[in-house]
Structure 1
């Protein structure tokens, strides 16, 4: 019986979280200098590299009767032209028009009957300092890519040199493998489930070799689970049922300024980011008449736990940390001190490692239970806002000879989460 690539429990949870106005895709807006490529030229360039990310030719297949997590299968009707769209901005073609278009595209869910991604080539951007510009808006489902490590199709489209040659050709032309039948999918899922007890027995045997350590580890994980769920985040105007529409904006900040703050006040660059978000949210709430005295919000901060050997792989290897945002404090130095101290304690507690262990244990749970748990979690108020700080490329990148000037990331919004903050350095 063939082995298929099945979604992990974490990847599958992003499908269960997708309901109503909540769309679980990560995205990015990329702005380039130079004349835009022709649509056909862009498609040809992507097709020449698509063998480097074979998942982008695959779609999800559901297991009958919900007896297993979905698997990835080749899409026999794959049409690259469907996934690479073409759009143009209305005059004057500034950042405002690009943001409006991005918000409109981000509001559209991906079609689950097809590979879960698309790109839009955007023309009509106003020139900058006499030079032409264009943009690409990229979107991929969170079940497909890891939004923290930033692994997606854009990682293979770029070159490090404006004059880079064509990529290596695939060893053989792509041909879709035959799609499995429903009974085959069901049989494979049931057989895989039968192996779970053996895996659990192996874990128990390993635990009995170091029982004290095993018991301590289980206690730590249990304490973590209670800590994450026993204290809901405070109510705010940001935690309401969201609709299908999206508004998107960005700001540019110089990394040297963040480093200067870090060096002057202590802490890390990520602490400076969280402190900046805390100060901005506090001012946002007060400007709208909401009291912030003594108020501390909770930010969900995704953390990559991908091993070095897994670098470049698709799928999610993510844990979470729950960072306090003291929005009631207005003094930047005091906010920075509070955030730095809290994040240092969280890291020393091993919260992210414990969360990744809980995520791994979820792979042993029946899919129906995981589906219900994901939907239940989406209705709870465990956090107020997602803040993700993604390390971006630290060298110039080129797309078919055009320089990438700006790179703006996007995080998905959950059912009761009206704001997400994503930061990327480039």
Structure 2
């Protein structure tokens, strides 16, 4: 397999084939968003995410197998598709500029890919605890910011792969997470030609510092030139000013209409808990058809039922109008129908909106009606759109705004919502790793500061797969949420139309929470 020559969006160099670059003299600096997530680790949190793939070797075609050596060989062959996975982040002296991506001259793939085994009986509880321990540990900043684990000892001879990737590696959609790179859509294993990767020579610290100063000194000249040409930093600054005005307006609106008080906006430690569960896709589809709502409306109603049960477990009482505020990708409202369309299952960096989950509603039927109505309404409201976490004035002079503004924005958005929900915007067809079928695919969402819980949902093969990551010291009862998912889907499946008939409203007409002027 040979790629088409073109210009690579990551390095700006010319690509002869995947992984082979003519870098030229261009400095490969972290983007403002990359740098923001990199610096966020200094604010008492970690910004890594990943995926859990559970494989069934017994169902693999004859000749297909996966052991540690085969996994290493597969990953090594496909790292050419994700060059950042062989690069380290090098900071600039005194923060004069954003850090650089630099090839790791001591890259050791066996450091990043590790072999582990669960204690018997190797059940879901043991697997969840293993994942929680791995996700609690920060990544080694002296090496490329990712890890992968081949996990053995699961029941029935199954094995699992856990990936862990720093968020700064995934700036744009074409920068895939490693789990998206090692999987195939068919049992046939796709191989790229041998990757003759050779690390580039790292720049010296003096050269990095002088380069940063030279960039800063060059900016005034570029500003003057842009007065005549109409391009360059002047246009960028005008665009930044316009974006900033709109951003400040949206931010003030979100702060005025802050999320309800909740322990979900607490960070107690870097220790994590993880749990996961799946439900049949046909069950979700039947509920959607029965209530004449969208598939993702049902998914969101299931999550609402989970949050209702959790709220009742930590509070003595709950009012009828009580809500939990969530943020989710805008693409979840209009998912891609064709599962073969491009894209993967890590939905970071997408446009988002904020909606309310009516956890105070007793009736599951009415709750679904309200969830659908609120999500439809707020997904079309500019006041409920959110730019997400972004650096403030990311590039201006020599001041390291990415580091400073990261902390500022982190505080600003602390109360804009209670829980992030990552719902993939497309159905994922069945995948294979080295010919071995992937039976389950759960994404592990990032857990940022001021958040105690993050939820992800994937529609994979014939399953809808839910994963929960939480601060261990805030949500010590997280494992119960797997059971809450099953309870919530069951009550929707067994519920009737009585509640809807009594209210005289259709499935999309319900509302909850405070009214908001559009």
Do these two structures clear the TM 0.5 threshold for a shared fold by scoring above it?
yes
- Counterpart secondary structure, 1:85: strand
- The 5 Å alignment of 1:40-51 reads 40-51=69-80
Q: CA RMSD in A?
A: 3.3
One of 145, 148, 153 as aligned partner of 1:124:
153
> Following superposition of structure 1 onto structure 2, how do residues 409-424 of structure 1 map, counting pairs within 5 Å?
409-424=443-458
Question: Secondary structure at the residue paired with 1:40?
Answer: helix
Look up the match of 1:176.
199
Q: Which residue of 1 aligns with 2:10?
A: none
Partner of 2:26: 3
1:72 aligns with 2:106: no
C-alpha contact (below 8 Å) 2:132/2:272 kept by paired residues: yes
Give per-residue Cα distances to partners, 1:357-378, cap 9 Å, x unaligned.
x949754456633323322343
Cα deviations across residues 96-146 of structure 1 (Å, max 9, x unaligned)? 11111111111111111110101000111110xxxx210111100011126
Count of residues paired in the alignment: 409
- For residues 32-75 of structure 1, the C-alpha deviation after alignment (integer angstroms, 9 at most, x for no partner) is 00166332221112112211211110111111111222221101
Aligned to 1:300: 327
Larger mean Cα displacement after TM superposition, 361-370 or 390-399: 361-370
Aligned to 1:381: 415
Match of 2:179 in 1: 154
CA distance, structure 2, for counterparts of residue 126 and residue 227 of structure 1 = 51
Show the counterpart of 2:229.
none
Aligned ranges for residues 318-337 of structure 1 at < 5 Å? 318-337=350-369
Q: 1:228 to 1:205 in 2, by over 3 A?
A: closer
Cα distance in 2 for partners of 1:147, 1:334 equals 39
Q: What is aligned with 2:267? A: 241
* Structure 2 equivalent of residue 229 of structure 1: 255
Deviation (angstroms), 1:272: 2.5
Moved more, 140-149 or 327-336: 140-149
Q: Give yes or no for contact 1:149–1:304 (8 Å, CA) kept in 2.
A: no
CA 191–226 in structure 1, closer or farther in 2 if over 3 Å, else same: farther
Q: Match of 1:201?
A: 234
In the alignment, is residue 135 of structure 1 matched against residue 160 of structure 2?
yes
Alignment counterpart, residue 371 of structure 1, candidates 385, 398, 403: 403
Q: Which runs of 4+ in 1 moved over 6 A?
A: 147-150, 204-207
Higher Cα Rg: structure 1 or 2? 2
Query: C-alpha displacement at 1:218, in angstroms?
Result: 7.2
Cα separation, 2, equivalents of 1:121 and 1:9:
33
Number of the residue aligned with 2:290: 264
Q: 1:300·1:322 contact (CA, 8 Å) conserved in 2?
A: yes
How big is each residue's C-alpha offset from its partner over 1:148-172, in whole Å with a ceiling of 9 and x where there is no partner?
89921122212222233533333xx
Residues 341-371 of structure 1: per-residue CA shift (max 9 Å, x gap): 3322333234687727x94975445663332
Q: Please state whether the residue corresponding to 1:248 is helix, strand or coil.
A: strand
The alignment partner of 1:18 has SS state of helix
1:257–1:384: structure 2 CA closer, same or farther, 3 Å change rule? same
Does structure 2 retain, via aligned residues, the 8 Å contact 1:303–1:352? no
- CA displacement at 1:191 relative to structure 2: 4.5
Query: Which residues of structure 2 form unaligned runs of 5+?
Result: 1-23, 59-64, 227-231, 337-341, 461-518
The answer to whether the 8 Å contact 1:297/1:384 transfers is yes
Q: Structure 1: where are the runs of 5+ without partners?
A: 208-213
Residue matched to 2:35: 12
Q: What is the Cα deviation at residue 302 of structure 1?
A: 4.1
The answer as to whether partners of 1:9 and 1:362 remain within 8 angstroms in 2 is no
Q: Is the 8 A contact 1:87 1:120 kept in 2?
A: yes
Task: State the alpha-carbon separation in 2 of the partners of residues 298 and 138 from structure 1.
Answer: 29
Q: CA deviation at 1:188?
A: 3.5
Structure 1 stretch displaced more, 240-249 or 84-93: 240-249
Aligned to 2:442: 408
Q: Match of 1:96?
A: 125
CA gap of 1:263–1:351, structure 2 versus 1, over 3 A, is farther
Pairwise CA distance, 1:243: 1.2
Distance 1:205 1:385 in 2: 34
Of 372, 389, 411, the residue aligned with 1:340 is 372
Structure 1 partner of 2:431: 397
